[in-house]
C-alpha cells in the first residue's frame, strides 16, 4: 500500500476524491493538533507528503526541514499545495534524495487578475473611497481623484506563469510593459509580451512596479530603501509574490515621504500582518491577505493538479513540476530502495 499524507487544512475536495479510484494508494489526513509522536509515526510510513505553501499557515513543527526528513525514511516526494514552496527546505530534500514538486501555474490566472485589481484599486482610489464613504462625511469627490492606467508603463519583476498573464492584461488596458527576469532570455521575454530591461532600468522608467518572482536567497529584501529610492517619483509598488522580498519599513518610508504614490500588497512578513502595521494605516495602501490565488477556480485546479502529480510520482513517472531537478540521481536511488522499483 502506497501512503500519501496531508494535514487537515481545508483543501478542495478534488484532492481527496482523486485517490478514491486508486485502491493501492491510501490517503491519510493528520490533524495539526494531534500528538507529535503519533503524527511522526504516520510520517514514518509516508511515501508522499502534501503541505501548505504558505509559511504562516503550516505550523512550524511540520515545515519540511532536514530534521523532519530524518523521521520520514520512506518519503520520496514532498508536494507543495501551491506555486510557492516556502514551507519546504528544498536543499535538505535534495540532499536526502526527496523530490519537491509544486503546482506552478495552477493559480496564475487568479493572481494576475488580482494584480490588476490591486492596481485599479490604488490608481482609482477604490479602497480609500470605500473606507471614507463608510466612516466620513463632508469630503468632496475631488479629494478622491484617481488616475487612468492606460498609457502608463508597468515593470514586471519576473515573467513566469503569472507575469506573462499580467503582461497580457496590462496591454489590454493600453499599458507599456517592461520586464526583468534572470531565468528568461530577452527573446523569450519579448514573446511573453514585454520589453526586456535590467532591474535598474525598470525602476527608473516604470510608473508601476509589480513583483512576480519566487522568494529565495537571491530575492530576499530585493526591494529595500535603495530600490524604492530609484523608482520614479509618484510610482506605484505592487506585490503578489511573497513577503520578505520587499522591506516593509523601507516601503512605508517611501510612501510616507511622498516619493511613492501608492502600493498594493497581498503578501507580508507575517501573515496576517499585525493590526498596528504602519502600512495598514496608510490611505494609499491597498491591502489583502495573501488571497490573490484564493479563488474557487484556482483552489479546485491546484487540488486536481497536486493529486494527479502525486499519482504520477507513485506510478514511477518523472513529475512535470519538479522544483529540484538536481535531485534526480539520488531520487532514483531512494525511490528504488523504498518502493522496490526504479522510476521511469
Q: Which residues are known to be catalytic?
A: 242, 271, 290
Report whether 232 contacts 205 (CB < 8 A). Answer: yes
Q: Are strands 2-7 and 48-51 parallel, antiparallel or unpaired?
A: parallel
Residue 282 CA to residue 260 CA, distance in Å, equals 12
Residue 242 CA to residue 9 CA, distance in Å, equals 20
Residue 228 CA to residue 260 CA, distance in Å, equals 8
CA distances from 285 to 146, 204, 239 (A): 14, 21, 12
Omega prior to 272 cis, within 30 of 0: yes
Residue 340 CA to residue 328 CA, distance in Å, equals 17
Residue 27 CA to residue 46 CA, distance in Å, equals 9
Amino acid at each position: 500500500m502506497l501512503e500519501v499524507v496531508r494535514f487537515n487544512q481545508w483543501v478542495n475536495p478534488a484532492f481527496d476524491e482523486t485517490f478514491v479510484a486508486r485502491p493501492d494508494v491510501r490517503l491519510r489526513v493528520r490533524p495539526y493538533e494531534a500528538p507529535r509522536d503519533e503524527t511522526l509515526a504516520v510520517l514514518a510510513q509516508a511515501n508522499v507528503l502534501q503541505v501548505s505553501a504558505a509559511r504562516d499557515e503550516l505550523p512550524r513543527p511540520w515545515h519540511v526541514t532536514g530534521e523532519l526528513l530524518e523521521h520520514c525514511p520512506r518519503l520520496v516526494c514532498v508536494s507543495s499545495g501551491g506555486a510557492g514552496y516556502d514551507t519546504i527546505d528544498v536543499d535538505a530534500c535534495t540532499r536526502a534524495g526527496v523530490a519537491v514538486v509544486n503546482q506552478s501555474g495552477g493559480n496564475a490566472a487568479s493572481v494576475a487578475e488580482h494584480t490588476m485589481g490591486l492596481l485599479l484599486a490604488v490608481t482609482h482610489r477604490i479602497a480609500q473611497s470605500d473606507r471614507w464613504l463608510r466612516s466620513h462625511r463632508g469630503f468632496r469627490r475631488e479629494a478622491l481623484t484617481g488616475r487612468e492606467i492606460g498609457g502608463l508603463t508597468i515593470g514586471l519583476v519576473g515573467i513566469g506563469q503569472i507575469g506573462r498573464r499580467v503582461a497580457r492584461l496590462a496591454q489590454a488596458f493600453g499599458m507599456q510593459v517592461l520586464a526583468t527576469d534572470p531565468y528568461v532570455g530577452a527573446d523569450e521575454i519579448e514573446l511573453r509580451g514585454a520589453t526586456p530591461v535590467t532591474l535598474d532600468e525598470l525602476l527608473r522608467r516604470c510608473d508601476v512596479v509589480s513583483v512576480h518572482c519566487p522568494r529565495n536567497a537571491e530575492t530576499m529584501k530585493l526591494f529595500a530603501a535603495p530600490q524604492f529610492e530609484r523608482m520614479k517619483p509618484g510610482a506605484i509598488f505592487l506585490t503578489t509574490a511573497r513577503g520578505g522580498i520587499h522591506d516593509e519599513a523601507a516601503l512605508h518610508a517611501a510612501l510616507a515621504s511622498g516619493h511613492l504614490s501608492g502600493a498594493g500588497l497581498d503578501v507580508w512578513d507575517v501573515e496576517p500582518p499585525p493590526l498596528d502595521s504602519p502600512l495598514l494605516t496608510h490611505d494609499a495602501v491597498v491591502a489583502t491577505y495573501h488571497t490573490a490565488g484564493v479563488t474557487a477556480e484556482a483552489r479546485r485546479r491546484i487540488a486536481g493538479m497536486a493529486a494527479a502529480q502525486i499519482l504520477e510520482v507513485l506510478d514511477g513517472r518523472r513529475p512535470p513540476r519538479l522544483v529540484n531537478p538536481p535531485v534526480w540521481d539520488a531520487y532514483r536511488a531512494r525511490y528504488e530502495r523504498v518502493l522496490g522499483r526504479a522510476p521511469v
